[in-house]
Structure 1
C-alpha cells in the first residue's frame, strides 16, 4: 500500500478538528469559570463522571477544600457545581480522546508500513506536543489550587498557545502530504509571512493574558480605553516597575492586546498587498484573500467582544476565529514555502 496515503491525511486532519473542538470547549470552560471544578487528576478513572448522588457529593466536598469555593463560590449548591463540573470534565475527556486518536492510528500505520520516515519523525513530534499540552493543562489548574482562586494567566497562556501550535504543526504535516511538491517563488515574501505568524502568536499569547486576568471586563470602550475624549491613549499604572503593567496589569495587558491587533491587521493587509505584486497560482491567491478576510472579521469581533464586556458567545467566537486565522496563516506560509 502506498505510504503517506489518504488515510494518513484524514487521520491528521481529524486530529486538527479535535484540537479545534478542544479549544472551543476550553474557551467555554474559561468563560464559565469551570476550570477549577475538578481538583484532582485521574488519567483513567477520571474519564467517568460521578454517577450517583454519593459520588457527586464527594466531588463537591473535594471542591469545597480549595480557594475558589472558599473565596468566591461559597454560595454554590450542588446543582451549581454540576454545571461547572461538566465543562471541565468534557474538556479533559476530549483531551484523552485526542491522545487515543493520535496514538492508536499511528501504531497501526507504523505496523502496516504506511508512513515514510519523515512523517514518522513528524508524528512523534506531534505526540510529544500532545503530551506536553496535557501536562500544561494540569500545571495550569494546579496554580489555582494553592492560595489563589484562579489560575495563573502565564500558565493559561502556555496552555492555550501550546494548543494553537500543536494544531498548526498538525495542519502543516497534513499539508505536506496533500501538497508534496512545493515551489518557492520569493524568499522575502515567505519571510514576511513568517513575521506575520510570529506577531499573530504573540497576539494569541496576549489574548490568553486578557482572558486569564479578566482584563476584558474593564475599559469597555472603543477606539479609546475611556469614554472621555482624550488627545492620546493612556495606560492606567497599577504596578511598579512599569514593565509589569504590560504583563500583569489588567489595563496594560488590554492596552497591548488592543494595539497588537492593529499591527496584526496591518501586517496581514501588507502581506496581501505584496502578494498581489508577485506571480502565484490560484491556491496561493485564494490563501491570501482568505487571510485578509478572516483578520478583518476577527478585528470586528474583538471590538464587539470588548464593548459588550465579553459575553460567552462573543468570547468563544473570538477564540474560534483566532483559530481560523492561525490556520489561514499556516496555510499561506505553507503554500509560499520551499
Structure 2
C-alpha cells in the first residue's frame, strides 16, 4: 500500500482547517469576554453543556465565586451568563474534536502502514504540540480565576502563538507530501524568508499582548498615536523601569505592535523585490505575490481595527487574515527550502 497517500494529505489539511476555525472562535471568545465563563475543567464531561435550568444555575453559581463576576459582571442575569458561556464551551469542544481528528486517523494510518517513518515522526510532534496547546488553554484560563478578572496576557500569547505554530507545522508537513521535490535557488534568499517568518511570529505575539491587555482601546489614531504625538507620553509613565512599558504597558505594547507592522510589511516588500532577480518556478512566484497581497490587506485591517476601537467583526477579521498571512509565509518558505 502506498505510503503518505492523498488520504494522509487530506487528514493534515483537515487539521489545518480545524485549527483555523478554533482560532476564529478563540478570537470571538476573547472579544466577547467569554473566556472565564467556564470556571472548571472537565476533559470528558465538560463536553456536554448544561442541559436544564438546574444545571445552568449550578454553573452560574460557580461563576459567581470568581473575580470576573465579583468585580465586573455582578449585574449579570442567567441569560447574560448563557451568552458568554456558549463561546467558551464551543471553543473547548472544537479543541477536543481536533484531538480526536488527529489521534484516530493517525492510529488508523499506522495500522494500515500508510505513513512513512519521517511522517510518523512529524505526526508525533504534532500530537505533542496539540497536547501542549490544550494544557496552555487551561493554564491561561486559570490565571483569571485567582485574584484578577482577566487572564495573563503572557499566557494568552503563549496559547495563541502555539496555535499558530501548530497550524504552520501541520501545513508544512502537508506541503512536504504535496510537493516532495523542492528547488533551492538561493540560500541567502531562503534565509531572508526565514527572518520574515521570525519577525511575523514576534508580531503575532505582540498582537496577543494587545488583545490580552485590551491595548487596542486607546490611542485610536493613525498614523500617529495621539493628537500629533509620534509616541504618546503614557508609553513612558505607565511603569518603571521604562522597558517594562513595552511588555506590560498598554501604550508601550500598542506602540511595538504598530511599528512591528511596518517592519513586517517592509521585509515582505524586500523579499518580493529581491525575488525579482531570481529565476523562479510559477509556484514560487505565486507564493510571493500572494504573500504581498495578504500583508497589504492585513495592514489596512490593522489600521481600521485600531481607528474603530476593535469592533468584534474587525477584530476577528484581523486575526483571520493574520492566519492567512502566516500560511502564505509558510508556503513561501517551503517553496524556497530544501
TM-score range, shorter chain: over 0.9
Residue matched to 2:330: 330
1:233 to 218, 231, 236: 231
Residue matched to 2:169: 169
Aligned partners of 1:144 and 1:151 also within 8 Å: yes
Residue matched to 1:282: 282
Residue matched to 1:112: 112
The Cα offsets for residues 104-138 of structure 1, whole Å up to 9 and x where unpaired, read as: 00000000000000000000000000000000000
Residue matched to 2:189: 189
Residue matched to 2:99: 99
Aligned partners of 2:232 and 2:251 also within 8 Å: no
The Cα offsets for residues 84-117 of structure 1, whole Å up to 9 and x where unpaired, read as: 0000000000000000000000000000000000
Aligned partners of 1:31 and 1:315 also within 8 Å: yes
The Cα offsets for residues 44-68 of structure 1, whole Å up to 9 and x where unpaired, read as: 0000000000000000000000000
Flag the 1:252–1:269 CA change in 2: closer, same or farther, 3 A: same
Q: Return the alpha-carbon distance in structure 1 between the equivalents of residues 277 and 325 of structure 2.
A: 23
Q: CA deviation at 1:229?
A: 2.7
Residue matched to 1:66: 66
* TM-score, length-scaled by structure 1: 0.99
Q: CA deviation at 1:235?
A: 4.5
Q: Return the alpha-carbon distance in structure 1 between the equivalents of residues 271 and 121 of structure 2.
A: 32
Q: CA deviation at 1:183?
A: 1.5
Aligned partners of 1:235 and 1:252 also within 8 Å: no
Q: CA deviation at 1:234?
A: 3.8
Q: Return the alpha-carbon distance in structure 1 between the equivalents of residues 22 and 233 of structure 2.
A: 34
| SS of equivalent residue, structure 1 residue 14 | helix
| SS of equivalent residue, structure 1 residue 322 | helix
Q: Return the alpha-carbon distance in structure 1 between the equivalents of residues 311 and 84 of structure 2.
A: 17
| SS of equivalent residue, structure 2 residue 20 | helix
Residue matched to 1:43: 43
For the pair 1:135 / 2:135, whether they are aligned, the reply is yes
* TM-score, length-scaled by structure 2: 0.99
Q: Return the alpha-carbon distance in structure 2 between the equivalents of residues 202 and 184 of structure 1.
A: 26
Q: Return the alpha-carbon distance in structure 1 between the equivalents of residues 279 and 131 of structure 2.
A: 41
Q: Give structure 1 stretches of 5+ with no counterpart.
A: none
Runs of 4+ in 1 over 2 A off after TM superposition: 232-235
| SS of equivalent residue, structure 1 residue 326 | helix
Q: Where do residues 81-96 of structure 1 align in structure 2 (5 Å cutoff)?
A: 81-96=81-96
Q: Give structure 2 stretches of 5+ with no counterpart.
A: none
The Cα offsets for residues 181-205 of structure 1, whole Å up to 9 and x where unpaired, read as: 1121100000000000000000000
